[in-house]
Structure 1
Amino acid sequence: MREGGIRMSTTPYMSPMEQQGQQQQGMQGPSTAPPQRQGSQQSGPQQQLQQLGRQQPYQQLLQQLGQENVPQAQAPEISTQAVASGIATAFWDVVQPLPGQASALYLMIDNAWKAFINPSQHTHVAVQEAFAHGQQVIGYYDTTNPSYLVAIVITTK
């Protein structure tokens, strides 16, 4: 650059308030999880685990686990005596998971994201087409572990 010229930066400008907020929140690593809805509150052990996972030492551990190709999500044990269902109002399809993470398809049921771990390619396509054509998508989950789907049913008209 010649002297007296204009210097340009690709670094985004952040006000001091934004910088302070970012320092307080900590830098989060990449994630394929669906966005959290404002106003929907989670409680109990699941929320505590998520909060721990956002802390710096745990972020580093999770990243190291991801580099070792250890799946971070696994299909849960299923209790066939406590299955419930709900109609999905939205979906979040992780078509290419981060290294070391399992493939996942999330359905929004009763204002909460529920994950279907390692769906087949057919399931990815069927859910996308169902939402595109206004078909009803129903997720079935174990009430003792409601964050994970055990089955997905698509109804036709």
Structure 2
Amino acid sequence: MSVSARLAELGIELPEVVAPLAAYTPAIRHGDLVFTSGQLPVVGGELQAAGKVGGEISPEYGYDLARLCALNGVAAAAHIAGDVDHLSGVVKVVGFVNSAADFSGQPGVINGASEALQEIFGDAGVHARSAVGVAALPLGAPVEVEFVFSLS
């Protein structure tokens, strides 16, 4: 099944590519890979939440925000690839969680991105991953996720 057909079956519509906040591009192609810049949980040009996970942001909401980051990442990669169906899978995910000092559940939060990619790409969505707690993220975002996709 094509990626576009799978998205339709899941009822997922990819968002517009999020405009850069500084001097970078949302994604770049290198050979048969597409690397995205860090994707924030932005919808319609607006950051959906700000704060620390394990503080004012619950881990469950952080999971949902990481899922939004994944959809933004797929959109950015598809834009560079020319079409979502040119993406053949996910190679690597790096997730950053703006964490309260005593929060250690970063892997569960970034599962929001990982599980969304596995829904979309099936077995080709299984990837290598890091989930890192950080003291701050741009705009106070609770999560930021970057991706490496393979091309068909």
TM-score in terms of structure 2 length: 0.22
TM-score in terms of structure 1 length: 0.22
**Structure showing the higher helix proportion among its residues:** 2
